[in-house]
């Protein structure tokens, strides 16, 4: 086959060929949303773009292009809305799909011709099939935005990321020898959702746990014996956790997991989680 590349579909009896004079235009191959997923908080915005690729008659997958005429929708507008340009705005806690829909076409080569449907047949052999394509992106909206965490009595502070996770270095010369075994406390601040009526008063919905096989353990407060205290009425609200490094230096994990629960003014409940990773050299 000199100067000829061919693909054959035995089931449909069609052939895609690049022989001179018998090569059809590129056909739709795949599509997607960019980004494919986002995580944020009420009020945040994210710009989505629809992308697609085509395949030429040689079988090559062409570079992705932006779909300019996509229609945008959200499957749950209580969680996030999206405008005609793909700009999504987080509304409330939960998950939703941001969908892009556009018209695309498959182009198949029929060696024996496709004049049986002349309206969709070009060049005598290239058959055009039209359909709608839907690409989806996942949008997670978190109720609680964790802000920062501090090693109390030191200058060590770190900001939570968009997933409510943070790594806090607890080695310091200006505070407790936390890595060496001294008692220490961390203070994590967070932001409650709009229309919150209050939080943190129910120990079954607001609590702190340590990951299994942890290098650290709770060190009950010398004042009242608690292992953590929530201050839900402060602005911003926060939690203090009392800890120490295990004396035998056992353990392989370092996560402090904080769960905050509360209620909206309409009586519905909400919850959010944050994770602090304690780091020693």
- Written as one string, the DSSP assignment of 248-274 is T---SB-EEEEEEEEEETTS-EEEEEE
Q: Map tokens 């498959």 to a residue.
A: 106
Q: Which of 141, 175, 191 is the last residue of a domain?
A: 141
Q: Is residue 255 pLDDT above 50, yes or no?
A: yes
CB 215 within 8 A of CB 278: yes
> Is there a single domain that holds both residue 170 and residue 217?
yes
Is position 198 within any domain?
yes
Is position 17 within any domain?
no
In tens, the pLDDT along 206-220 reads 999 999 999 999 999
> Is there a single domain that holds both residue 116 and residue 152?
no
Count up the domains in the chain and report the number.
2
Is position 16 within any domain?
no
Is position 242 within any domain?
yes
Q: How far is CA 92 from CA 88, 142, 195, 277, in A?
A: 12, 8, 11, 27
> Is there a single domain that holds both residue 106 and residue 153?
no
In tens, the pLDDT along 75-105 reads 999 999 999 999 999 999 999 999 999 999 9
CA 273, 279, 281: angle at the middle one, nearest 5?
A: 175
- pTM (two decimals): 0.77
Q: Is residue 17 pLDDT above 50, yes or no?
A: no
Is position 1 within any domain?
no
Sheet with 27-34: strands ordered across: 27-34, 49-55, 65-66
> Is there a single domain that holds both residue 118 and residue 196?
no
Q: Is residue 16 pLDDT above 90, yes or no?
A: no
> Is there a single domain that holds both residue 165 and residue 190?
yes
> Is there a single domain that holds both residue 182 and residue 232?
yes
Q: What's 235's domain CATH number?
A: 2.60.40
Supply the range of the domain harboring residue 266: 145-279
**From 4-8, 146-150, 251-255, the region with the lowest mean pLDDT:** 4-8
Is position 13 within any domain?
no
Neighbours of 243 (CB within 10 A): 22
Joined together, the tokens standing for residue 281 give: 């050299």
Neighbours of 167 (CB within 10 A): 13
Neighbours of 232 (CB within 10 A): 18
> Is there a single domain that holds both residue 36 and residue 91?
yes
> Is there a single domain that holds both residue 227 and residue 212?
yes
Is position 105 within any domain?
yes
């Amino acid at each position: 086959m000199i100067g000829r590349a061919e693909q054959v579909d035995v089931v449909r009896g069609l052939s895609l060929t690049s022989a001179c004079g018998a090569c059809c235009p590129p056909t739709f191959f795949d599509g997607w949303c960019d980004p494919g997923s986002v995580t944020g908080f009420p009020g945040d915005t994210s710009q989505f773009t629809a992308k697609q690729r085509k395949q030429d008659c040689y079988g090559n997958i062409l570079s992705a292009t932006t779909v300019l005429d996509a229609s945008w929708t959200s499957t749950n507008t209580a969680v996030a809305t999206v405008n005609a340009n793909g700009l999504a705005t987080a509304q409330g806690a939960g998950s939703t799909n941001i969908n892009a829909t556009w018209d695309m076409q498959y182009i198949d080569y029929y060696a024996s011709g496709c004049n049986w449907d002349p309206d969709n047949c070009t060049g005598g052999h290239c058959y055009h099939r039209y359909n709608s394509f839907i690409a989806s992106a996942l949008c997670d909206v978190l109720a609680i935005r964790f802000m920062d965490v501090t090693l109390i009595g030191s200058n060590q502070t770190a900001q939570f990321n968009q997933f409510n996770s943070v790594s806090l270095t607890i080695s310091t010369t200006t505070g407790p020898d936390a890595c060496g075994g001294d008692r220490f406390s961390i203070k994590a601040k967070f932001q409650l959702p709009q229309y919150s009526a209050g939080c943190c008063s129910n120990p079954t919905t607001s609590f702190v746990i340590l990951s299994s096989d942890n290098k650290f353990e709770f060190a009950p407060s010398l004042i009242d014996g608690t292992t953590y205290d929530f201050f839900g009425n402060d602005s911003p609200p926060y939690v203090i956790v009392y800890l120490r490094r295990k004396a035998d230096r056992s353990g392989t994990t370092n996560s402090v997991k904080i769960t905050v629960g509360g209620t909206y003014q309409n009586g519905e409940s909400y919850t959010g989680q944050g994770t602090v990773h304690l780091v020693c050299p």
